[in-house]
Amino acid sequence: MARVCLLGSDDVPLRQTLLGHETAREALTTYDLAEPYHNAIELETVSLGAAVALLNDLNWYLVRYVDAALIREPSVTDTEWLSRDLATAIRDGEVTPETSGQYLMLYGVEQLQSAAEPTPNEPETGASDDGQPRFDTEAPRLVEPMYVTRTDGSIPTYDLRDVTETVVVRVTEREFTR
């Protein structure tokens, strides 16, 4: 089973926005949606090919509302995510899983505390009973990706800020050098 994680843009409440569009809603309706990170959607598909196909179906929305589309495929790695481009290249046989782990993007993971009031630029995650915006500030937030290369099998330490953990994403050489 492959997992897909969509990381929403800071200014867009991702779940509500996607489910507010009929085509995206229909594409996502068969999946159980989770929110592993602030303003992110995660779901499980049957294969890497199905995950890439779903992202292709959602491409119009991904371009407008999503900062990153990630796929985790156990046949490639149990612990690291793949960028959409890398997952597509592996599916198409352009890259082998064994050679896919040199170029990486590390996201820091910040554990957020519950807050009575959201920060002014924080995306909405719904509306409260009185119609006022409601914000999910309890989910951990992925912050500031850092591009690194795996050297001698080890990954450099994330050092852009103090974080509780990191999320490792394998990327293509082209994505790495952009």
Q: Cα–Cα distance between 81 and 38 in angstroms, integer?
A: 17
Q: Cα–Cα distance between 178 and 4 in angstroms, integer?
A: 23
Q: How much is the pLDDT for 164?
A: 87
Q: How much is the pLDDT for 116?
A: 46
Q: One digit per residue, pLDDT tens: the chain, 178 residues?
A: 999 999 998 889 999 999 999 999 999 999 999 999 999 999 999 999 999 999 999 999 999 999 999 999 999 999 999 999 999 999 999 999 999 999 999 999 998 765 444 444 444 444 444 443 344 457 899 999 999 999 888 999 999 999 989 999 999 999 998 7
Q: Cα–Cα distance between 38 and 24 in angstroms, integer?
A: 20
- Number of alpha carbons in the 13 Å side-chain half-sphere of residue 36: 14
What is the residue extent of each domain of the chain? Answer: 2-109+139-177
Q: Cα–Cα distance between 121 and 104 in angstroms, integer?
A: 29
